[in-house]
Homo-oligomer: A and B are copies of this chain.
């Protein structure tokens, strides 16, 4: 009896916002295992904004997806069969096998402990959480009493940035889309304030919430949110730059005026540090991160919000919604 693998492949490249027909669900037989290989059964796979960049031609953070190939990305899998002595059937692993129900691996997978909910290794304890931690601590370097602002405040990166900054004694102001998300950020995540970027009074609301200016702006969105932050930046403020979701669906450059002189001039006058980083460069430091973070998650000092979509067939629509901010928490597909 041969197993059938359901896979989502890139059918064609999107121009602007992805549409359902950019994706295709196919079925392929699972091949026989060779010596040294393991068969993975996917339990969860991750949907992350950076995947949009990989759907374009040419490199972004990572090599682009090829047409007709499975969309790759973080996944939590169970070892279903093993011809590799390092892995036993039933173990949970983190792999990079992406949008499919099964995968064969030669062993470039990492075991995950069973003391924590396994899906957390796609979010708070995985790439997004580590992105938040690294950018905030290494580039942002917030000091107690400073004001830290982060957008996508209830997403996996934003929620972690804000909670870590609170633990460091900062005033934390979130930015999120809609009243529900803002309430969650202040009530559940413990942010000092959260401002709705969809509100007509957003710029004024942000200014009021940041009455001492902004010392660290953790940049994961760009666009109009960044332009609202710009005039509030304090002298010697720091901007770790890990994402620009507001731009990902742009098919070309926006109309003018060209804001570059305003931005560069502000960075100069206010001695701002603006620094891009990609977390895949820094996995030599992930053990330090996990050592610090697992106890915080287990003790409830860091709260976790997941948005779990069931069924691989629903992944494309969920991903399209992610780029529009429709998710509420870390978006994960449960297979």
Residues of A within 8 A of B (CB): 59-61, 222-223, 226, 241-244, 247, 250, 252-265, 267-278, 281
Contacts and interface: CB of A to CB of B under 8 A. Distances in A.
B254 A258 contact: yes
Contact of A253 (B247, B253, B262): B262
B257 A253 contact: yes
Given A61-B268, A271-B276, 9 more contacts: A252-B257, A253-B257, A253-B261, A254-B256, A254-B260, A260-B263, A271-B277, A273-B276, A275-B275
Given A241-B264, A275-B274, A259 B269 contact: no
Nearest to A274: B274
17 contacts: A222-B261, A222-B264, A223-B261, A241-B267, A247-B261, A253-B257, A254-B261, A255-B258, A256-B258, A257-B258, A267-B275, A268-B278, A269-B278, A270-B276, A271-B281, A272-B275, A274-B275
Q: What is the oligomeric copy number?
A: 2
Contacts of A243: 268
Contacts of A264: 222, 226, 241, 244, 247
Contact of A244 (B60, B255, B265, B276): B265
Nearest to A244: B264
Contacts of A278: 268-269, 271
